[in-house]
Amino acid sequence: MESFTLTQQLLQFMVTGLTIGSIYAMVAIGFNIIYNVTEVLNLAQGEFVMLGGLIMVSLHVALGLPLVAAFAATVATVTVVGMLLDRLAIRPVRQPTVMSLIIATVAASMIFKGLAMLIWGKNPYDLPAFSGREPILLGGLVIQSQYLWVIGFMVLVTVLLALFFNRTILGKAMRACSDNGAAARLVGINTQQMVLLAFAVSAAIGAVAGITLTPIALMDYDRGAMLAIKGFAAAILGGLGSFPGAILGGIILGLIESYGAGLLLSGYKDAYALIVLLLVLFLRPSGILGGMAAARSKRV
């Protein structure tokens, strides 16, 4: 370890930062999908990640399902959870205001967290890495293969979403809803179904983030809130509602955290992202890629 030069160390932090940043990016993308269609800020987004990780552990490790089957089943399960969240917690709110909807998602995240504690207990769970724990050595860098899986899945999610939003009727209908809900309804788009779809897609992406993260960082019932906040910080940093912004914001945040923990005080690891969030909110609430006008029209 001591033979590492400073440059090598800095590169090492960068790899870690990119990996954790990819997770934040996925959470931020999930935020944006729901936010764009509904203007709801889903604070339960982190619980999708937590559930993804823990359900995967149960299916893959405890039940012994093969990796791919367990992966698909986990994503499907969390997707259903996301749809239930819309139907049971968000849509029934009688006086939907920003405040009441935020409180509804907070309540939902407490229920998810509490149920997860009842099912899995308080201990963290491990998941075998997708292609073994043998690290890849690259020019003095130690790269865990799981890091590449995380980054790869983030890229995959991005590509699939881009295709979905630009090439499919359903995706275009969803974009229409986020541009102008009333107009979308006028041309015959079922906006309620689009909202449900947004929750479903968002939950699925959260599950992917959770499944890929667990082999690196373990998973327990209590992780959701912090992941949601970091993901939100990434979304704000990039510009709320913008998908390229979410990826950029996630990666910048991951790098800040990784370098902050490595070079400054590691105990304050969780604080760096939040300090950045506060600074962005105070100085430039529209984020890096968000236009000021867009931010204003979205703000309720």
Helices (H), 5-44: 6-38
Q: Three-state SS for 264? A: coil
The least distance separating other proteins from the CB of residue 11, rounded to whole angstroms, comes to: 28
- Among 61, 93, 142, 217, the residue binding other proteins under the rule CB under 8 A is 93
- Among 117, 156, 162, 264, the residue binding other proteins under the rule CB under 8 A is 117
The CA distances from residue 66 to 10, 39, 71, 74, 128, in Å, are 37, 38, 8, 12, 12
The residue among 201, 269, 268 whose CA lies nearest residue 20 is 269
Q: Judged by CB under 8 A, does residue 137 bind other proteins?
A: no
Residue type, 238: G
Q: Judged by CB under 8 A, does residue 20 bind other proteins?
A: no
Stretch in the footprint of other proteins (CB under 8 A) among 51-59, 96-104, 192-200, 246-254: 96-104
Q: In the stretch 225-264, what mask flags binding to other proteins with x, by CB under 8 A?
A: xx--x--xx--x---x------------------------
Q: How many residues bind other proteins (CB under 8 A)?
A: 45
The CA distances from residue 232 to 98, 113, 140, 210, in Å, are 16, 18, 34, 16
Contacts of 202 (CB under 8 A, 6+ apart): 30, 31, 33, 34, 42, 45, 48, 82
> Quick one: 118 or 169, whose CB is closer to other proteins?
118
The two structure tokens encoding residue 137: 């050595």
- Among 6, 62, 99, 293, the residue binding other proteins under the rule CB under 8 A is 99
The least distance separating other proteins from the CB of residue 71, rounded to whole angstroms, comes to: 28
The residue among 226, 42, 213, 6 whose CA lies nearest residue 130 is 213
Task: State the Cα–Cα distance between residues 172 and 165, nearest whole angstrom.
Answer: 5
**How open is the CA angle 232-148-247, to the nearest 5 degrees?**
25
The two structure tokens encoding residue 77: 């399960």
Q: Judged by CB under 8 A, does residue 110 bind other proteins?
A: yes
The least distance separating other proteins from the CB of residue 295, rounded to whole angstroms, comes to: 9
Stretch in the footprint of other proteins (CB under 8 A) among 48-56, 179-187, 253-261, 277-285: 277-285
Binding site for other proteins (CB under 8 A): 41, 89, 92-95, 98-100, 102-104, 106-115, 117-118, 225-226, 229, 232-233, 236, 240, 265, 267-268, 270-271, 274-275, 277-278, 281-282, 285, 299-300
